[in-house]
């Protein structure tokens, strides 16, 4: 009586072409193919899988070194399990098959296929998130990147202004978000050097503030700016000052583009995230608004089978500690291998929840006072607790409840 032969596929991904390898459960190479990164290549790949028993009911699992792109989108249709193998892990597996350190694209495809054949249980397939959750993830990550890019550009502009134009920094200091505000952009365009700023009149300053959208406090701010620009400041030589002004204007264009991108993507997130059924549960947690909640959803997804329990999610977020033990030596440290985006969102979440929730504040104070944690460690412990509560609420479709979440802390605080 014959047995069912299990087939595994490995794809060595590249920018224009890909190498494909199919092996059976004994490790024998069944087929290999070199395909292009287009519709024709995708059809060749799907036909090759179908020739070896791939079907809707029992699709052949695929290992690849990326989790993005059109090829991955084609493979993720239906029930197929797609495993995104870390390139570092694939390099370690390569040494199991050859000690000569030789490397080739067809050989890497074979290594990826054998990873599934031998250790598929040790790797996690890409989650089966809904289309809306994946769309929210794209927007939330793009908005986060745009925000980081805006801050980085603003820091570069601030550093440049310190070299020749400290009056501009003093002028925008009372404003929230400083150099990222439209008023600051109008002023810098109108007076890119301190020499020009010194010659600006009150009507010019008032007109610049109004063009930026200001409607209140225009006269008072114009007087303050005029006094600031006409104070005594050190100056660069005239030609150097003019050159630095031109450099500043070029950097200002980048900052305005980054600011607009961050604002536009924020509006897109605010439109898409509330449509997701998990948004009501996520927003019920203290410290989570639309933007931060969207970032959390983007990283944990809505596939309920993605994490076996809350401990898996905590490890993925980097909030739970890791124990390293060898012989008589043992140490407990923070996790370095984690989802950095989720960990960053967790830091902001814990920081905001301290002021938004009395239970969270009491938990934070207990970690600081009773356990002697530093600020970052106490926040990480609070994030660890709250993300475990989020896992429970999402699994059981329940909203956050303060009394249930922090009964001990609230009783002690009372």
Count the Cβ atoms, other than its own, within 10 Å of residue 203. 9
Lookup: tokens for 91: 């390099």
Cα distance between residue 350 and residue 209, in whole Å: 37
Number of H helices, E strands in the chain: 19, 7
**pLDDT tens for the 414 residues of the chain, in order:** 345 668 999 999 888 899 999 999 888 999 999 999 999 999 999 999 999 988 888 899 999 998 888 899 999 888 899 999 988 888 888 877 666 667 787 888 999 999 999 988 888 899 989 999 999 999 999 999 999 999 999 999 999 999 999 999 999 998 888 899 999 999 999 999 999 999 999 999 999 999 988 888 899 999 999 999 999 998 899 999 999 999 999 999 999 999 999 999 999 999 999 999 999 999 999 999 999 999 999 999 999 988 989 999 999 999 888 888 888 887 778 778 888 999 999 999 999 999 999 999 999 999 999 889 899 999 999 999 999 999 999 999 999 999 888 887 666 666
- In angstroms, the CA 275 to CA 128 distance is 18
Q: Which residues 6+ apart lie within 8 Å of 179 measured at CB?
A: 154, 157, 158, 172, 255
Terminal C-alpha separation, the chain: 72
Among 13, 7, 12, 11, smallest CA distance to 30 is for 7
Rounded Cα–Cα distance for residues 370 and 252 (Å): 49
Distances (CA, A) of 31 to 21, 51, 83, 303, 308: 6, 10, 20, 33, 35
- For 116, how many CA atoms within 13 A lie in the half-sphere containing its CB? 29
CB neighbours of residue 80 within 10 Å? 20
**pLDDT tens digit sequence for 62-110:** 999 988 888 999 998 888 999 999 888 888 888 776 666 677 878 889 9
Beta strand spans in 62-114 (E)? 62-64, 82-84
Per-residue pLDDT of 166-201, as tens digits, reads 999 999 998 888 899 999 999 999 999 999 999 999
Strands 62-64 and 7-12, how do they pair? parallel
- 373 phi/psi in degrees, rounded to 5: -70, 145
What is the value of pTM for the model shown? 0.85
Tokens representing 379 are 């926040």
CA 380 to chain centre: 18
Dist CA 410 CA 361 (whole Å)? 10
Question: Cβ-count burial of 236 within 10 angstroms (0-12 exposed, 13-18 middle, 19+ buried)?
Answer: middle
d(CA 69, CA 393) in angstroms, rounded, equals 32
Pull the structure tokens for residue 206: 């008032």
User: What single string gives the DSSP state of each residue in 160-176?
Assistant: HHHHH-HHHHHHHTTST
β-sheet bridge partners, residue 17: 36
């Amino acid at each position: 009586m014959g047995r069912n032969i299990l087939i595994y596929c490995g794809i060595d991904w590249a920018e224009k072409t890909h190498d494909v390898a199919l092996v059976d459960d004994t490790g024998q190479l069944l087929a290999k193919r070199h395909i292009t990164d287009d519709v024709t290549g995708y059809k060749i790949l799907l036909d090759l899988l179908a020739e070896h028993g791939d079907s809707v009911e029992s699709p052949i699992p695929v290992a690849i070194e990326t989790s993005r792109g059109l090829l991955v989108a084609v493979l993720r249709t239906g029930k197929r399990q797609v495993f995104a193998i870390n390139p570092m892990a694939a390099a370690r597996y390569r040494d199991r098959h050859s000690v000569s350190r030789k490397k080739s694209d067809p050989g890497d495809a074979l290594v990826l296929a054998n990873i599934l054949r031998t250790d598929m249980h040790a790797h996690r397939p890409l989650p089966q998130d809904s289309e809306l959750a994946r769309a929210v993830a794209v927007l939330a990550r793009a908005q986060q990147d745009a925000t980081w890019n805006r801050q980085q550009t603003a820091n570069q502009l601030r550093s440049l202004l310190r070299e020749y134009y400290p009056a501009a920094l003093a002028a925008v200091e009372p404003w929230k978000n400083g150099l990222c505000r439209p008023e600051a952009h109008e002023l810098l365009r109108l007076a890119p050097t301190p020499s020009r700023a010194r010659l600006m009149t009150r009507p010019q300053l008032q007109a610049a503030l109004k063009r930026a959208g200001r409607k209140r406090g225009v006269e008072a701010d114009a007087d303050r700016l005029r006094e600031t620009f006409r104070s005594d400041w050190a100056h660069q030589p005239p030609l150097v000052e003019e050159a630095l002004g031109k450099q500043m204007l070029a950097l200002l264009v980048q900052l305005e583009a980054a600011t607009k991108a961050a604002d536009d993507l924020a509006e897109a997130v605010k439109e898409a995230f509330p449509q997701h059924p998990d948004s009501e549960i996520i927003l019920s947690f203290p410290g989570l608004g639309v933007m931060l909640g969207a970032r959390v959803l983007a990283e944990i997804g809505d596939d309920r089978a993605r994490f076996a329990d809350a401990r898996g999610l905590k490890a993925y977020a980097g909030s739970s500690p890791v124990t390293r033990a060898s012989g008589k030596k043992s140490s407990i440290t923070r996790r370095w291998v984690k989802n950095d985006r989720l960990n960053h969102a967790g830091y902001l979440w814990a920081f905001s929840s301290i002021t938004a929730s009395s239970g969270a504040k009491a938990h934070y104070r207990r970690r600081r006072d009773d356990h002697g944690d530093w600020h970052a460690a106490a926040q990480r412990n609070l994030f660890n607790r709250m993300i475990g509560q989020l896992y429970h609420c999402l699994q059981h479709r329940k909203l956050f409840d303060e009394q249930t979440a922090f009964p001990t802390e609230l009783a002690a605080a009372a």
